[in-house]
Amino acid sequence: MIQPQYKKHTAYLSIGSNLGEREENLANAIKQIEANCGIISKQSAIYETAAWGNTEQPAFLNQALVLRTDLSSKKLMKQLLHIERLMGRERTVKMGPRTIDLDIVLMDEETVYSEYLTLPHPNMQDRKFVLLPLAEIAPKAFHPVFNKTIEQLLVECGDVLDVKKF
């Protein structure tokens, strides 16, 4: 009998797309993440929202994922950046339009401050398009800096952008 493969870390990801076939981009990203990063144990519904920050661009489709992985947070981030490049993401304008955006929002209860990775994601508490899908699949996930659950952060979030199921 084959024993199941247990993954030692739990990462909470936020994925988004606002260029091209947005829904297809999310599906392709999920396939790439499963092929290269670990096992997706939960995924939220897809949500649509206006662009946040740089608002002169198409609306985003966003989704949250729970990923079980053996990769460290830094190795996972490197892999996600590689997937973004494979899918045609170009970083030319800060907060600009993108075929795919892959972010680690939380990982275990880890805190990381490095050049290319900050955990928990430094702006997650201010973005309803991150919190709402994540609260759907992991309401009790814990923010180790604010000592609050995703559910609590969503209730306190001041973001007024409309986030609706797609």
CA dihedral for 106, 66, 138, 8, sign (positive or negative): negative
The yes-or-no answer on residue 103 being catalytic is: yes
Kindly name the residue from 22, 70, 85, 101 that is annotated as catalytic: 101
Q: Which H/E stretch holds residue 103?
A: strand 101-107
Q: Which H/E stretch holds residue 130?
A: helix 128-137
Query: 49-82: buried (b, 16+ CB within 10 Å) or exposed (e) per residue?
Result: bebbeeeebeebbbbbbbbbbebebeebbebbee
The yes-or-no answer on residue 89 being catalytic is: yes
The separation between CA 38 and the C-alpha centre of its own chain, rounded to angstroms, equals 15
Nearest C-alpha neighbor of 47 from the set 82, 12, 18, 70: 18
Kindly name the residue from 22, 70, 85, 89 that is annotated as catalytic: 89
Task: Compute the C-alpha angle 42/44/50, nearest 5°.
Answer: 150
CB atoms within 10 A of CB 86: 13
The yes-or-no answer on residue 101 being catalytic is: yes
Kindly name the residue from 68, 70, 103, 108 that is annotated as catalytic: 103
Catalytically annotated residues:
89, 98, 101, 103
